[in-house]
């Protein structure tokens, strides 16, 4: 009966609006006019929604979510109010990658509208934003360079191309920028930087390269690794020049010394860089074509001649001289993952939803070679219910891992593949990362884990153990042994030598249950040291360049924490320089 009533009410509204049946019928009242407010739990905190309605119309939706991640949840906060007004229902599409925030906005808007007397079923039946009859317009654009993907590598390249004075188009298939860079939490590896010298840290290009080759099981392309190491200090200085300084230095797994550079307050490096890159692009007047997906590379006479792309409004043919692929990897394409690694079927992923391998597929279609495509990295510290990555900096700043017995079982700062394998060998194939208030005080990234309810807290080690169903005396002994190892700077049990600058003695104490998750696809399109894409025949594909996770060869069989950010910044800049030079020929 309610369904029938809803349909009849919709019909009455439609008829009255159209002046049907001779004399216009009075429109039924959908809302009690006024402004109504409600809130719901978002990703970073409470999201507040204020809805203003007239008798038969939603006239305004204001959303406040200051604690949401700017590059993801912040996009939902900025865009979903307009979508609700347009559709005249709270049940609109959420923002991909911001599921928790989107759901909170929908829930709060629903609650506010119900307080205004609305029947949400009626609103859904009469929603105004149907797209069945949308016809895309065919458009042709002309430019010098097309950059596909507005993640870290694409934005770094765009800044360089704009500063070089070349005309270009920047495409991004998602409704927001950042890509997988928004998932980066630790920092950027770099050697012989001015920050290291100022802090008395000894490092070298040769040691950085050696660590990267060893970490990658010597499957890496040595020339690409050498380029990464040699240009890392210059990349740090370039970041300084655009206001994206990374002065905080700590250890990361597989490094021989303090090398991973992070924001001064220890916040997650990915969102920090995305914010800085976005601000610089805005300052430079760069427009980004969001919600526009590249679908095909156009080749003519054996070289790049353009890109085909599509948005909700248009089908684009973009004529150009050069293309920079910065589309990221395929860590969010679980079918593609399984096709190369069946053993990873069903594993959670930390990847942004746009990391689906589009660029790899497009490059293959024009003859690009792939390298190390089956090399897919697990990150050892992923909270499984949310797929949230717990930054390597937590361990780098002194945290330890324990199993369900409350015992350490590995050197926590071995390479990611080694630590992941050690976790999977434990009972239940999970572990707990243990840290204290001192670490929390000095690492801003931890606040996100606390806010989102991922941490278990105890005023004493014994209380924490009880909450984890671990024998209190076992966990207490594990912490005591670790603190003694820190005091003596000698981890006799597992040989850990890094991330031992502070003990774990300041209450309260914290734990997060973690297990491995898909984090990075090391393989991809083959490039040379100029970021030129190489064909299956071993030749350069003229006009085609690539940078970041879409490429293979830099990381080999295992990526060191901190090398992905180095990769996107360094090779994003190289790709830009190479594309600009190519267009000048």
Same domain, 390 and 416: yes
Q: What percent of the chain has pLDDT over 90?
A: 79
CA distance 451 to 531: 41
| Number of domain units in the chain | 3
Residue 530 sits at the vertex; the CA angle it makes with 527 and 533, to the nearest 5 degrees, is: 30
Same domain, 489 and 571: no
pLDDT at 267: 87
pLDDT at 134: 63
pLDDT at 131: 52
Same domain, 330 and 366: yes
10 Å Cβ neighbour count for 451?
Answer: 15
At residue 443, does pLDDT exceed 80? yes
Which band of pLDDT confidence, cut at 50, 70 and 90, is reported for residue 67? confident
At residue 570, does pLDDT exceed 60? yes
Of 478, 494, 517, which residue is a domain's last? 517
At residue 422, does pLDDT exceed 90? yes
Q: Is residue 478 part of a domain?
A: yes
Which of these is catalytic: 259, 395, 408, 416?
416
Residues in the chain: 585
Same domain, 349 and 322: yes
Of 500, 517, 534, which residue is a domain's last? 517
CA distance 17 to 25: 8
Which residues are within 8 A (CB) of 85 and not within 5 positions of it... i.e. 6 or more apart?
A: 58, 59, 60, 61
Of 472, 497, 517, which residue is a domain's last? 517
231-248 mean pLDDT: 98
| pLDDT digits 0-9 by tens, 350-396 | 898 899 999 999 999 999 999 999 999 999 999 999 888 998 889 99
Q: Give the DSSP letter string of 177-227.
A: SBGGGGG--S-EE-SS-HHHHHTT----HHHHHHHHHHHTTT-S-HHHHHH
Same domain, 474 and 540: no
Which band of pLDDT confidence, cut at 50, 70 and 90, is reported for residue 130? low
pLDDT at 20: 40
Same domain, 503 and 548: no
Which band of pLDDT confidence, cut at 50, 70 and 90, is reported for residue 66? confident
Helix (H, G, I), strand (E, B) or coil at 163: helix
Same domain, 415 and 428: yes
Same domain, 431 and 303: no
| pLDDT digits 0-9 by tens, 490-525 | 999 999 998 999 999 999 999 999 999 999 999 999
pLDDT at 24: 45
444-454 mean pLDDT: 90
Same domain, 511 and 454: yes
CA distance 16 to 163: 57
> What's 312's domain CATH number?
3.50.50.60
519-534 mean pLDDT: 97
| pLDDT digits 0-9 by tens, 465-477 | 999 999 999 999 9
User: Where in the sequence is the domain holding 168, given as residue range(s)?
Assistant: 138-186+275-375+522-583
Cβ 351 vs Cβ 329: under 8 Å: yes
Which residues are within 8 A (CB) of 392 and not within 5 positions of it... i.e. 6 or more apart?
A: 185, 186, 252, 253, 260, 381, 561, 562
At residue 21, does pLDDT exceed 50? no
Which band of pLDDT confidence, cut at 50, 70 and 90, is reported for residue 28? low
Residue 129, CA distances (Å) to 103, 123, 126 in order: 19, 12, 9
At residue 233, does pLDDT exceed 70? yes
At residue 95, does pLDDT exceed 90? no
Q: Is residue 53 part of a domain?
A: yes
192-214 mean pLDDT: 98
Same domain, 370 and 281: yes
| pLDDT digits 0-9 by tens, 142-201 | 999 999 999 999 999 999 999 999 999 999 999 889 999 998 888 999 999 999 999 999
Short-list 504, 463, 502, CA closest to 480: 504
Mean pLDDT of the chain: 92
**Residue 559: active-site member:** no
- Of the listed ranges 48-62, 63-77, 405-419, the least confidently predicted one is 63-77
Output the six-digit token pair for 68.
């949401």
Q: What percent of the chain has pLDDT over 70?
A: 94
């Amino acid at each position: 009966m309610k369904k029938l009533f809803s349909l009849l009410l919709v019909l009455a509204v439609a008829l009255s609006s159209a002046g049907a049946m001779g004399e216009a019928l009075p429109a039924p009242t959908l809302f009690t006019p006024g402004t109504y407010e409600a809130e719901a739990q978002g990703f970073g905190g409470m999201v507040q929604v204020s809805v203003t309605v007239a008798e038969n119309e939603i006239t305004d939706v204001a959303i406040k979510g200051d604690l949401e991640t700017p590059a993801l949840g912040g996009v939902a906060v900025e865009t979903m109010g307009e979508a609700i007004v347009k559709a005249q229902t709270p049940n609109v599409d959420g923002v991909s990658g911001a599921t928790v925030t989107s759901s909170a906005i929908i829930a709060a808007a629903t609650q506010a509208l119900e307080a205004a007397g609305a029947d949400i079923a009626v609103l859904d039946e009469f929603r105004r934003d149907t797209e069945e009859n949308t016809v895309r317009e065919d458009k042709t654009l002309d430019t010098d360079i097309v950059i596909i993907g507005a993640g870290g590598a694409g934005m770094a390249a765009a800044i360089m191309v704009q500063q070089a004075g070349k005309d270009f188009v920047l495409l991004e298939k998602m409704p927001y920028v950042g890509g997988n860079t928004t998932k980066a939490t630790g920092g950027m590896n770099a050697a012989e930087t001015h920050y290291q010298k100022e802090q008395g840290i000894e490092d070298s290009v040769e040691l950085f390269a050696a660590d990267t080759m060893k970490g990658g099981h010597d499957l890496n392309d040595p020339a690409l690794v050498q380029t990464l190491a040699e240009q890392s200090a210059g990349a740090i200085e370039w970041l300084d020049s655009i206001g994206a300084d990374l002065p905080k230095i700590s250890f990361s797994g597989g490094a021989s010394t303090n090398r991973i550079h992070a924001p001064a307050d220890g916040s997650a490096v990915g969102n920090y860089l995305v914010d800085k890159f976005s601000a610089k692009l805005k300052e430079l007047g760069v427009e980004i074509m969001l919600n526009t997906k590249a679908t095909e590379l156009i080749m003519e006479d054996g070289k790049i001649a353009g890109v085909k792309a599509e948005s909700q409004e248009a089908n684009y043919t973009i004529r150009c001289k050069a293309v920079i692929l910065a589309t990221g990897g395929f860590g969010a394409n679980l079918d593609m993952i399984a096709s190369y690694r069946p053993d990873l079927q069903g594993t959670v992923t930390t990847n942004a939803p746009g990391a689906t391998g589009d660029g790899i597929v497009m490059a293959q279609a024009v003859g690009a070679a792939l390298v190390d495509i089956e090399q897919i990295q697990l990150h050892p510290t992923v909270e499984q219910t949310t797929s949230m990555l717990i930054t390597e900096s937590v361990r780098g700043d002194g945290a330890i891992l324990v199993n369900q017995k409350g015992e350490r079982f590995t050197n926590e700062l071995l390479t990611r593949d080694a630590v992941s394998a050690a976790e999977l060998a434990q009972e239940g194939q999970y572990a707990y990362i243990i840290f204290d208030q001192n670490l929390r005080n000095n690492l801003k990234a931890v606040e996100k884990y606390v806010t989102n309810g991922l941490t278990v807290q105890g005023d004493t080690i014994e209380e924490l153990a009880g909450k984890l169903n671990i024998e209190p005396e076992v966990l207490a002994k594990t912490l005591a042994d670790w603190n003694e190892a820190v005091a003596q700077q000698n981890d006799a049990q597992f040989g850990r030598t890094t991330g031992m600058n502070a003990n774990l003695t300041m209450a309260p104490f914290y734990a997060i249950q973690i297990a491995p998750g898909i984090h990075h696809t090391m393989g991809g399109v083959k490039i040379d040291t100029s970021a030129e894409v190489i064909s299956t025949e071993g030749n350069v594909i003229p006009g085609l360049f690539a940078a970041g996770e879409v490429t293979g060869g830099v990381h080999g069989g295992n990526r060191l924490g901190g090398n992905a950010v180095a990769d996107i910044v360094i090779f994003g800049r190289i790709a830009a320089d190479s594309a600009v030079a190519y267009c000048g020929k």
